[in-house]
Structure 1
Amino acid sequence: MSECTENPVSSDSIDDPVCVRLDHLVDSTSRRHPDAVALETADGHTLTYRSLVVAAERVCHAVAGSGVRIPNRIGLVASKSVEAYVAYLAILKLGATIVPISSRAPLAWQRTMVQCAGLSLILADPKSWAGARELENLAAVSLVPSPTADPAPDPVPFAREEPQAAGEATAYVLFTSGSTGRPKGVPISHANALSFVRYIVDRHRPGPGDRMTQIFDFSFDPSIYDLFVAWGSGATLVIPGPTDVIHPVRWVSSRRISHWMSVPSIISMAAALRELPADSMPSLRLSLFCGEQLTVEQAEAWMRASPAGTIENAYGPTELTVTVTAHRLAADMHTWPRTSNGTIPIGQPYPGHDAIVVNDGRETDEGELCIRGAQRFAGYLDPQENAGRFLRAVGGHLEPLRENCPPKPDDWYRTGDLVRRDGDGTLTHLGRLDSQVKIHGFRVELHEIEGALRLHPEVIDAVVVAISARLGGAELAAYILGGEVDPRELRAMLVEILPEYMVPPRIRRLEMFPLTSNGKVDRPRLASMATEIGARRAEGRS
């Protein structure tokens, strides 16, 4: 099995002290590998690194030449088109912060992001132009010019609103819903992002000739891995078509993918469709999974399909810049660690980061994961969101920061994730703190039930949701992927493992889980489905 070092890449651009912004990395790569392919879209369009930079400079020229003052933040509403990638780089080259807005997000959500970010200018590619114009009453919307291989015009001087020091300037702002459902803006600086990219390029060793996936939407932070680990190393970014990710073997084989990154749900979907045969993806050197818990069953299925590659399970909330811990699996599956919930550990923090596990204000081996270090953001766009999200050591105690108390670099970010730390410091993700529900007065961890369901040989994957019961309180509903199995058999198995109050009264088999736009299991949709089924049963319609 590869140790991800077969293709050493010159790290001149990564280590160059002059590269203090993400766009500087791309410029440096363009100088070193001008004719290497930087981008390959699903419809066959390609751009070399030279062409990518020239096209981005043309967009800069068009925006600056319009005579407007370049705002500190520029929105991008775009699909995965050539124009979108060019515009992404152009916004950074203009010295502005990019605020990606998913073209598939509800209009109300888009409007909220525009208002929270204070956007006065939004760029849109042709495919997203009509939808983006719905925002014209909030900001100026401009169409991205078509890329061209012609030489870029001479730079046009332009005025910035409030220029910042390059390294400390904000590279991008992404919005997360958190547990409240209200968008929270997460600003990530160039320094945060470069710390991540530099380490990952050294860890994964991509380079010219390698072909990396770009599955995630621009509004989801793993896209930063896709874009800048590729563009900082000279690899090719390969864009999937609408159905390619659901059929990974076909796509990986046809496009000769060497580096894969996605959420683990993709594995379950492919396995459920019986499209993950052994030795079917020999080109893969590295497969990285993040965004959800990676189960042992999922990892084993992917390993059998790509035996020549390495698998890593990575973890990190948006606030900690893409991923901040990782666990690399050994070639021998028999040596893999066995955890209480049947998932692969998330590993240990990257160098330059500290992690503590906290329960009731004290360090422990099972509790909330809190991290600080070079990738930790400096605080939310709305400072009021910082209250309670950071911990500070005060007189030997850990205390949450109060409202209007800005975080310091030594403060820990509270991830809201429940973990267990082993003796060697390896972390296992146990679930979200807000995934705890009360059933008949007992506190229940949904991930424990999911892990128990996956013990059945016919179950490929399982998701458990809590919905409102007819007579008040909460009720459990479980969904599984896999072979035909009687729900009564599953419940009988669970009774032998779990307390009776943790056994879902309803277990339903699906052909596929509904997914969000970023490939994660759509848990709210599953909860809605369970509620609808319960309502029909109550009315005697099913």
Structure 2
Amino acid sequence: MERIVYSHVQQNPDAPAVVAENTTLSYSELVSEAIHLAELLSAKGIEFLEEPVGILLGPGLGQIVAQFAVRLVGATCVPIEPTLPELRIVDMLKQVHVRYLIAEKDGPIQLSDFQTVHLPRVGQTQPRSDWEFGPETDRSHILFTSGSTGKPKPVQIRAENILHLATRTPVTPLLQTDRVAEFNNPGFDLSLFEIWATLLSGATIVSVIFITAALFRITVSACPSAFSSLRHVLMGGDVANVQAIRSVFEHGPPQHLWNTYGPTECTTLAMMHEVTRADADSEQIPVGRPVGDMEIFLLDEDQRPITEPGLPGEVYIAGPQQAAGYFARPAETAKQFVEIPRPGHDIRNPGVVRAYRTGDRAQWRVDANVLDFLGRTDTQVKHGGFRVELGEIERALESHPAAHTAVVARQPPSTAEGTHALVAPNGDAQDKQAILRDIWDGHPGTCVMSSKDDDFLPASAATSLQGRRS
């Protein structure tokens, strides 16, 4: 990846790479900044290839410079949103054995457990051509997804996964005249598209936007014509809202509107569907067809292929964007990344393929090879595009000394989005808001939101709750 970005410097050094507030960096200037930071990292003592390096920065110029610098020294980017609770950040960084951390000198969180490299204000180093770029099979990123045990799962993503994303989808490679908005949480897999699909295409990070379906709906409700001047709008991370899409087509759509599907374990997106006006008049927006060389399999409970339209099955994903697995979690990797028989295999296509088991239910549409999303096979939910295991929320609630047992359930479809928790406390009644504040110290807002008077049940309800969960 770094070699391709370097080629843009050699071919068109003054082309804008990043536009941030009142600052514009050319590709040459971006690489200079990254080299300056990379040399600071090298001086600290990066000891081995693919060493995880924490990046405690929000979206923006610093995040882009930091990720490129980490890749220049052959290390692995571990971007963490700095607004997360400090205990949560420390736990995530220690899970993947981070020693070095890139952060703002005057940032809101200063962590003494790690050797911190402060983001320099201005790099003075000139671009060099003697960097030894690593192979495409190197691990480039570790991103976290929700875990049912209460600890987020670290997903290992290789450079070749991102290269396929940046070059083999219906919208990539981007045009050099494109400008891509970068505003997603850097620990969210959509940010890989925002940063790397842009830089690898020689485009500018600021006509293309990739947002969650929830944010798309909110934006459209405030300004239905907000996307009319853009070339591509990609939405993902949750089920597309048909009413919002209908409003966009009535008030001014972008040139191309895409519904995307894909978990972090398959590098941002594995399927895409270009949304049409006819889709806006339907009941559901399909998630589409595989991108590039990705493969989608719909299997029954015995892992037999489902080909008949309208029959539900579980989605399995294979192909060059598939992650290497979970960091230091061989059992979970073996459970989710499985070998399945390839339907209709021949000499060119071996009979067994490694695939990621998504836990998503879907069905084929009658009209060609297109999938409709139906829901989950487990208790996982989406909140703002993030995957959240209900078990993680339960473990968070039960981690408090005042809580005996907790059960979390989805809200009924007719009510507001989100989840509802029932908690049986230990002993006497507690200050509910104080309990929530304590839990918040170690868990993100996707796990803990608010309380109501009937959320906390008598301790005698503990046995019933345990039975309900089992």
Residue 98 of structure 2: aligned partner: 119
Residue 69 of structure 1: aligned partner: 47
Structure 1 segment 331-350 matched on structure 2, within 5 A: 333-334=277-278, 338=282, 342-350=283-291
Q: Deviations over 1:366-419 (max 9, x none)?
A: 1211111111112211212224213334799xxxxxxxxxxx982221101111
Q: Deviations over 1:242-281 (max 9, x none)?
A: xxxxxxxxxxxxxxxx111100112332344xx214x454
Distance in 1, Cα, partners of 2:171 & 2:63: 28
Distance in 1, Cα, partners of 2:240 & 2:48: 43
Residue 268 of structure 1: aligned partner: 217
- Contact persistence 1:59–1:145 (CA under 8 A): yes
Distance in 2, Cα, partners of 1:328 & 1:154: 41
- Contact persistence 2:52–2:98 (CA under 8 A): yes
- Contact persistence 2:40–2:117 (CA under 8 A): no
Residue 34 of structure 2: aligned partner: 56
Tell me which of 412, 415, 419 is aligned to 2:362: 419
Note if 1:318 corresponds to 2:261.
no
Distance in 2, Cα, partners of 1:195 & 1:157: 23
Tell me which of 79, 84, 103 is aligned to 1:105: 84
Letter in 2 for 1:210: D
When residues 356 and 142 of structure 1 are mapped into structure 2, their CA distance, relative to the original with a 3 A threshold, is: same
Tell me which of 414, 417, 429 is aligned to 1:463: 417
Residue 226 of structure 1: aligned partner: 194
CA apart distance, 1:96 = 0.9
- Contact persistence 2:166–2:172 (CA under 8 A): no
Distance in 1, Cα, partners of 2:166 & 2:342: 36
Distance in 1, Cα, partners of 2:185 & 2:93: 18
Tell me which of 303, 306, 311 is aligned to 2:252: 306
Tell me which of 173, 182, 206 is aligned to 2:151: 182
Helix, strand or coil: the match of 1:103? coil
Note if 1:433 corresponds to 2:408.
no
Residue 375 of structure 1: aligned partner: 321
User: What is the TM-score when the length of structure 2 is the normalising length?
Assistant: 0.76
Residue 390 of structure 1: aligned partner: 337
Helix, strand or coil: the match of 1:53? helix
Distance in 2, Cα, partners of 1:287 & 1:69: 41
Long gaps (5+) in structure 1? 1-21, 159-163, 239-257, 397-407, 438-444, 454-460, 471-520
CA apart distance, 1:33 = 2.4
- Contact persistence 2:172–2:197 (CA under 8 A): no
When residues 116 and 32 of structure 1 are mapped into structure 2, their CA distance, relative to the original with a 3 A threshold, is: same
Q: Deviations over 1:45-64 (max 9, x none)?
A: 22111100111111122222
Helix, strand or coil: the match of 2:149? coil
Helix, strand or coil: the match of 1:24? helix
Residue 288 of structure 1: aligned partner: 234
Structure 1 segment 127-138 matched on structure 2, within 5 A: 127-128=106-107, 130-131=108-109, 133-134=110-111, 136-137=112-113
Tell me which of 276, 281, 294 is aligned to 1:353: 294
Q: Once the two structures are aligned, what percentage of the paired residues are identical?
A: 25
- Contact persistence 1:36–1:49 (CA under 8 A): yes
When residues 69 and 271 of structure 1 are mapped into structure 2, their CA distance, relative to the original with a 3 A threshold, is: closer
Tell me which of 37, 57, 65 is aligned to 1:78: 57
- Contact persistence 2:168–2:293 (CA under 8 A): no
Residue 143 of structure 1: aligned partner: 118
Residue 454 of structure 2: aligned partner: 534
- Contact persistence 1:213–1:261 (CA under 8 A): yes
CA apart distance, 1:151 = 4.3
Letter in 2 for 1:177: S
Distance in 2, Cα, partners of 1:186 & 1:79: 20
How many residues were matched structurally?
397
Q: Which runs of 4+ in 1 moved over 4 A?
A: 153-158, 521-525, 535-538
CA apart distance, 1:204 = 4.3
Distance in 2, Cα, partners of 1:237 & 1:374: 25
Residue 44 of structure 1: aligned partner: 22
Letter in 2 for 1:264: A
- Contact persistence 1:81–1:125 (CA under 8 A): no
- Contact persistence 1:344–1:428 (CA under 8 A): yes
Letter in 2 for 1:218: P
- Contact persistence 2:166–2:173 (CA under 8 A): no
Helix, strand or coil: the match of 2:150? coil
Long gaps (5+) in structure 2? 344-350, 382-408, 425-443, 459-470
Helix, strand or coil: the match of 1:40? strand
User: What is the TM-score when the length of structure 1 is the normalising length?
Assistant: 0.66
CA apart distance, 1:73 = 1.9
- Contact persistence 1:312–1:327 (CA under 8 A): yes
- Contact persistence 1:64–1:70 (CA under 8 A): no
Helix, strand or coil: the match of 2:168? helix
Note if 1:170 corresponds to 2:139.
yes
Distance in 2, Cα, partners of 1:280 & 1:100: 29
Distance in 2, Cα, partners of 1:329 & 1:315: 13
Residue 305 of structure 2: aligned partner: 363
- Contact persistence 2:228–2:253 (CA under 8 A): yes
Distance in 1, Cα, partners of 2:337 & 2:62: 39
Distance in 2, Cα, partners of 1:95 & 1:234: 21
